[in-house]
Amino acid sequence: MIRISKTVKQLVIINFIIFVCTSFFGNKYLFYHIFALYYPLSGFFAYWQVLTHMFMHGDLFHLLVNMFALWMFGSSVEQVFGQRKFLFFYISCGFGAVALTFLVYYFQIYPILNSLVSEGLSYEMIRDITIDGQYHNFDLTYVEQNLIEDLNKMSGGAMVGASGAIYGILVAFAYLFPNSELMLILLPIPIKAKYFVPGIILIDNLFPAFSGVSIFSPSNTAYVAHIGGAVTGFLIMYFWKKNQFDKFRWN
């Protein structure tokens, strides 16, 4: 059995404490409005959400899956990195997940913003529209209704979970322990980590992100965030390998 490392243990405890507090104490939806990650255009966005969303989870299953993966792979990675470097890596991958999500969001929302601004709406009006769909307060009869609906749909959602950071940890595990054998529950065949992790990223994230068809994960999964965390993890590992971890090579 894998022994849980110190930082991983602390992260797991913090995530469980926050889940219990948000689920059983006070107003759950108020906690989500404050600490889940909303898109910058949303009236609910706050800068601290870039960090706090990593410790929020949608339900118990979401939490258990993420914490199991963190224990399973993070403990081995932390033993190589040490506590401070592991925590830096974990948080950086979470930030990378946010960065790619926001970048994709920008390219999706930019044409809608341009259309609304060209119709005479100010950015203040557009921001107000994203708060509880308050477009009824404005005379928008001259604006195409589908633009407003698309704006609300794309700006009203929130992102929670440690998945982006954990995908970075998965990449680090494959980088450090490429020949470790892993298996899926639905496919009990041993597969080396250097093939397993890229395969999961490709099949369960890249393909659904472009096709909209989910393979293993729920349909509301933040696939782009997973890819962002994985790419960030790869870039950090590549940089560290060139400068510090030359003894770890792909075989």
Residues 85-124 have pLDDT tens digits of: 999 999 999 999 999 988 988 887 777 777 777 766 676 6
Segment 221-250, tens digit of pLDDT: 677 889 999 999 999 999 888 776 555 444
Q: Which residues pair with 191 in a beta bridge?
A: 182
Domain ranges, residue 62:
6-243
Residue 143 has pLDDT above 60, yes or no: no
Domain count, the chain: 1
Is 227 within a domain? yes
Segment 176-208, tens digit of pLDDT: 999 988 877 666 788 888 888 988 888 776 655
Better-scored residue on pLDDT, 198 or 211: 198
Going from the C-alpha of 38 to that of each of 30, 34, 41, 216, the distances in angstroms are 13, 9, 8, 25
Least confident of 11-20, 211-220, 226-235: 211-220
Inter-residue contact 71 to 8 (CB < 8 Å):
yes
Determine the pLDDT at residue 171: 96
Burial class for 4, CB neighbours closer than 10 Å (0-12, 13-18, 19+): middle
Is 49 within a domain? yes
Inter-residue contact 24 to 135 (CB < 8 Å):
no
Could you tell me the two tokens for 97? 């997940």
End-to-end CA distance of the chain: 25
Is 1 within a domain? no
Determine the pLDDT at residue 7: 96
Inter-residue contact 76 to 177 (CB < 8 Å):
yes
Better-scored residue on pLDDT, 142 or 153: 153
- Phi and psi torsions of 192, nearest 5°: -65, 145
3-state class (DSSP) for residue 120: coil
Segment 20-76, tens digit of pLDDT: 988 887 667 778 888 999 888 777 889 999 999 999 998 899 899 999 999 999 999
Helix (H) or strand (E) run with residue 126 in it: helix 123-129
pTM of the entire structure?
Answer: 0.82
b/e per residue, 56-86, with b = 16+ CB within 10 A? Answer: bbbeeebbeebbebbbbbbbbbbeebeeebb
Residue 147 has pLDDT above 70, yes or no: no
CATH code assigned at 225: 1.20.1540.10
Is 20 within a domain? yes
Q: How many whole angstroms separate alpha carbon 83 and alpha carbon 89?
A: 10
Determine the pLDDT at residue 29: 75
Determine the pLDDT at residue 246: 53
Is 248 within a domain? no
Is 251 within a domain? no
Q: What is the mean pLDDT of residues 147-171?
A: 81
Is 39 within a domain? yes
Determine the pLDDT at residue 234: 94
